[in-house]
A and B are shown apart, each in its own frame.
Chain A
Amino acid sequence: MSNTLFIDGQEIPFAPGQTIMDASLEAGIYIPHLCHKPGLTPHGSCKLCTVEVDGRSVSACTLPAAAGMKVDNNTPALQEVRKTLVQMLFVEGNHLCPTCSKTGDCTLQALGYHFGMLDGHFPPFYPRREVDASHPDLVLDRDRCVLCELCVRASREQDGKNVFAISGRGASAHIIVNTSSGKLGDSDLTLDDAAAHICPVGAILPKNHGCEVPFGRRTFDLHSVAESDVAHVGLQKTEHHDE
């Protein structure tokens, strides 16, 4: 049997060891994702990449592709599920987009646009979360953290450090810093680490860069999150990737 699978009826190839997500990204097919970034160990927690294989709900970013697999991806029902999941992520944290310097470059927000989300829909949690401004170059604003663990993995797998971890349980799960003080300023995180730039939302932000690219001209003001060629969005680039 040849190494191909079907995404919404379209036949695409895959290499042994690839996940459904790997194969479809390579073929230029967008499966929504938030906690996934090629090159890092797949995590499978946000569930935005939820697809259906033979009617079974699975995470595209973690499930190995198999020959002949029939995957439902872009169906109205699944888009509705994903929209609901994005709404859930919004109400869980404290996302005041108009005051957030990541706005326009934020993947969570972009997913909201993509699914036509107009409100948070559910009662907001208004959690109390700590802001850590102890680092000279970076700020950790937990209000916006979506617990994707991209920073955790980037630090361990790409930077060869171990700066971040998730602590706690259930709705009290939160990101922590691997220092005895728990402060980012005491960690060995530096501005050129992958972990310093990988946050898809505005939870880890460089200091001293506010509005170099004006609202309205930021990545997702000009592009859809589904465009496969949108380069990775690190925030506050002095040069916008379009210019």
Chain B
Amino acid sequence: MPKSLSSGAGQQPHDHLLHRLHDLQSRFLHIPPLEIAPLATELDLPVSQVESVIDFYSFFHRSPRGRFDILFSNCTSCGGLTLMQQLCGLLGVQPGVTRADGMVSIDQTSCVGMCDQGAAVLVNGRTLVRLTAAQLPHLAQLVNTATPLDEWPADWFAVQDNIRHAGLLLNDTLSAGDGLRAAVQAGADQLLAEIRQASLRGRGGAGFPTAMKWQFCRDATAPEHYVVCNADEGEPGTFKDRVLLHSYAQQVFEGMALCAYVIKAQHGFLYLRGEYRYLVPSLEATLDAMRTANLLGENILNQPGFNFDISIVLGAGAYICGEESALLESLEQKRGVPRVRPPFPVTHGYLGQPTVVDNVETLVAAVHIAVHGGEWFRAHGTAQSAGSKVFSVSGDCTAPGIYEYPFGISVQDLLEACGGQDAQAVQIGGPSGTLIGRAEFGRKLAFEDLATGGSIMIYSAQRDLLAVVRNFTHFFAHESCGFCTPCRVGTPLLRKYLDKIASGHGTVYDREEMARLGKLVKRRSHCGLGQTAANPLLDLLAKFPQVYAERLLHQDYEPFFNLDAALTTTRELTHRDDAEAHLS
């Protein structure tokens, strides 16, 4: 863990359970059982809480990983599972099994947010991008010679911004403190009025009016108020927050300070997904510079009593922690399980205190509104979706990357801008969003039509859409928190149905049962994850029914039990994989 995480002005990150576990994981390559009880005692937590957190987050392990732990993204945009198999071959390992000499382990992980520059992998938590098959022998040699990561070719780790089209926010050059200076001059009431005037809506996907959220929180009386920036960005295909955090971090933090000014918060947290750990040093440097410039800390800009500071908390591989109440649980050093609502975070958030949780981009927009006013912002976009949207565009197009356009741009126009005109389908808003085919490319990207947190994944005619949807369905089953029955049991069942259909063993009955179950999971789950997990397979059914029909068996019934698959263990034990060892 970078030492810098222990800063943060009197707040707890140094002792945060997640940080201590990251630390143990990197020192011992797993969480040694004997470390658990002492850690619990030291942090004054029940031992069961430490145990349950270890088993909840993907990046903590019970048995040692290799000295080089290599995780391949399995996203449809930045994934490289073929490369993973090749590297496994070169290094003589099985996915998920640490090599006998302890040198290397290779596995897959959910989207790492490098969809514009895949294939992407994490090596000991560090992000390596644009990996190609040609590099693999070199990489294998570096592993076998135990070459420290700092001596690996630096350009392998060079994450690019890839801003292809800048608009309202990304083009606007502001100096550090512009937003805060404008705000303290106008006062908190006026700032809130401008945000309301701007009709700013949350950029994290749900589109809740930001001014209303800040107002509710400000109106809630309590000893403390908190601002949390949601930088969990786990939706496959989304990477715009990564770019904002890399090149516009000052504005992200300033947006948090603006919110703090309005709701009278003294502490803020940036909850950063573990996959973006490489950004921590630069983010900490930005925080330090802001403290020096009196844009954070005590009496900010000489306003008596305007005290606010920010600390960074690093997640550990759990998509659900992007859901705001699960995020708060995670901040509170627990499993990321979404809370029952009401009450909502604006009144009962972090440690039960009123809390605003806002997306990275929402906070950046707030800074520009503070400087230029609400009218300026509202002059862009559509009536119901004011301003611009930063899109993360990836998949089958000539120029994947960041595109900022006013809300209301059509899918077709965006496809033309990025060289994705040959698409047969586009997934809007990531797996939890909407799958559309060519007939719908005239639709608009806006809250009132196709709402999106920013993920645009493009699929050309060469893609097998069933494979895409199967990938998404596996993703949700892997990321379900396990709290409620419909999602905990339903998502693995949906995965079973899709696997069966994709392998050519599904019948019409299976497809119908899958759809029935999908609707139940969608309608009855506790949180947004379960409520959207069936979207891909239901959308595919509604819009591309032939994709299923082509794979179905023409018989009434086929059992789930697969005799050939059942022989897998026997084949492994007997070291046989020849034709005779398989049925049919």
Interface residues of A, Cβ cutoff 8 Å to B: 42-48, 50, 57, 59, 62, 64, 81, 84-85, 88-89, 91-92, 122-123, 125, 147, 162, 164-173, 176-180, 182
Contact = CB atoms under 8 A, between A and B. Distances in A.
Nearest to A173: B482
A84 B482 contact: no
Contact-residue bracket for chain B: 35 or more
A50 B411 CA distance: 37
A172 B54 CA distance: 13
B380 interface: no
B489 A88 contact: yes
A84 B520 CA distance: 9
Contacts of A48: 485
Interface of B: 36-37, 46-49, 51-52, 54-57, 318, 335, 340, 342, 477-486, 488-493, 496, 517, 520, 523-526, 560-561
Contact of B488 (A122, A173, A176): A173
Among B51, B486, B489, B490, max chain A CB count under 10 A is at B489
Closest 5 pairs between A and B when the two form their complex, measured CB to CB: A173-B482, A178-B48, A165-B48, A167-B52, A123-B560
8 contacts: A43-B340, A47-B486, A85-B486, A91-B493, A168-B52, A172-B482, A178-B47, A182-B51
Contacts of A44: 340, 484, 526
Q: Please classify the interface of chain B as helix (H, G, I), strand (E, B), loop, or mixed, using the class held by over half of its residues.
A: helix
A84 B36 CA distance: 39
A89 B489 contact: yes
B48 A167 contact: yes
B524 A170 contact: no
A46 B37 CA distance: 31
B493 A165 contact: no
Contact of A169 (B56, B493, B496, B526): B56
Contacts of B55: 167-169, 172
B485 A85 contact: yes
A129 to B, nearest CB: 14
A88 B490 CA distance: 7
B302 to A, nearest CB: 45
Given A167-B48, A168-B52, A169-B480, A57 B560 contact: no
A166 B492 contact: no
Given A123-B496, A180-B37, 9 more contacts: A44-B340, A57-B523, A59-B526, A84-B520, A89-B485, A167-B48, A170-B491, A171-B492, A176-B48
Interface centre among A89, A125, A171 (most CB of B within 10 A): A171
B489 A92 contact: yes
B485 A171 contact: no
Contacts of A165: 46, 48-49, 51-52
Contacts of A59: 340, 526
Nearest to B343: A64
Contact of A47 (B37, B342, B479, B484): B484
Contacts of A43: 340
A45 B526 CA distance: 7
B517 A167 contact: no
A43 B482 CA distance: 13
Nearest to A48: B485
B485 A125 contact: no
Contact of A168 (B46, B56, B523): B56
A88 B530 CA distance: 15
A179 B51 CA distance: 10
B294 to A, nearest CB: 42
Given A169-B318, A176-B52, A45 B524 contact: no
A57 B524 CA distance: 6
Contacts of A182: 51
A178 B46 contact: yes
A42 B340 CA distance: 9
A231 B477 CA distance: 38
Contacts of B479: 170
Nearest to A64: B342
A49 B485 CA distance: 12
A169 B482 contact: yes
A172 B492 CA distance: 11
